Amino acid sequence: MSIGSLLYCFYFLHLLTLLLLPSMPLLQKMLVAAVDQILN
């Protein structure tokens, strides 16, 4: 594996993390709401 493809892989993972981080609280809220509905 060359350094170029390694960097590309790292960059892609970094972008993926940046995209997913803002949606984490939203997913958590949705999950909590779903559990709340099931329990009530």
Would you mind telling me the total number of residues written for the chain in this entry?
Answer: 40
pLDDT at 29: 92
- Verdict on whether the full-model pTM lies above 0.85: no
Total of domains in the chain: 1
pLDDT for 28 equals 87
Query: In angstroms, rounded to a whole number, what is the distance separating the alpha carbons of residues 12 and 6?
Result: 10
Q: Containing domain of residue 30, as a range?
A: 3-39
* Helix, strand or coil, per DSSP, at residue 33: helix
1-40 pLDDT, tens digit each: 698 999 999 999 999 888 888 877 888 898 899 999 999 8
Q: What is the pLDDT of residue 5?
A: 92
- 12-39 per-residue burial string, b: 16 or more CB within 10 A, e: under 16: eeeeeeeeeeeeeeeeeeeeeeeeeeee
